[in-house]
Amino acid sequence: MGRVPMTNTPETATIDDARPVSRSLARAFVDDPMMCWFFLDDSSREEQLGRYFTTLFTRQYVRHGVCERTGAAAAFWVPPEGQANAVPDAETVQELQDILGERALLFRDAVETAAEHTPTEPHWYLAVIGADPAARGRGHGAALLRSGLAKADAAGLPVALESSTPANLPFYEHFGFTVREEFPLPGGGPVLWAMRREPHTPAGA
């Protein structure tokens, strides 16, 4: 693994950043319980995840979301105005099916199940956040999380997310999230924790 860039200042990610964004996220999620369930082969998982995140980023979130990156991490957010386009189009679905192979139906069921536990009122949704393991502990994920939360707070809106990694719950709780629900994915999938954070009023407001 090469040297990981040190800068942890968030900046807007554009479609030209697809390569570093997908690489950082593939490395971040290679041991994630849900991704291990979607991509069973340890030897090919990182490569498959790179394709998976490239498709999600270039075809979905960079078009309808707010995407930010640092030198070694990335985050995909969906504000209320982007949620009407949250359902992938036919070409995106086909690309994901090609990547997921026989696990494609499990992925579809997982997405539909998670959607049933998403708040119905206007909110910001944190779809993806991850940092290259070689850069963990250097503030990349925290910087991206603070940046997105500031935007949600400025709009006076809550934030929702799901985590499949119990070890990450304290990290989110540190930023004001609380667990709303705990539910398993269908087909014997891992447990997801649905979390929510109420908007914070900026100091002095």
Residue 3: per-residue pLDDT: 53
Does residue 5 carry a pLDDT above 90?
no
Instruction: Kindly indicate the confidence band of residue 205, based on its pLDDT and cuts at 50, 70 and 90.
Output: low
Choose among 44, 33, 10: nearest CA to 151: 10
What is the length of the chain? 205
Digit-coded pLDDT (tens) for 69-91:
999 999 999 999 988 776 677 78
Query: How much of the chain, in percent, has pLDDT values that exceed 70?
Result: 94
Lowest mean per-residue pLDDT among 20-24, 47-51, 106-110, 200-204: 200-204
Inter-residue contact 67 to 74 (CB < 8 Å)? yes
Instruction: Kindly indicate the confidence band of residue 1, based on its pLDDT and cuts at 50, 70 and 90.
Output: very low
Residue 146: per-residue pLDDT: 97
Choose among 43, 2, 20: nearest CA to 130: 20
When the pLDDT of each residue in the chain is averaged and rounded to a whole number, the result is 91
Digit-coded pLDDT (tens) for 102-158:
999 998 899 889 888 888 899 999 999 999 999 888 999 999 999 999 999 999 999
Lateral strand order in the sheet of 11-12: 11-12, 66-69, 73-78, 124-131, 159-163, 191-197, 178-184
Residue 198: per-residue pLDDT: 97
Q: 107: exposed, middle or buried (C-beta count within 10 Å: 0-12, 13-18, 19+)? A: buried
Choose among 31, 29, 24: nearest CA to 7: 24
Kindly state the tokens that stand for 83: 């949620």
Task: Give the CATH class of 11-197.
Answer: alpha beta
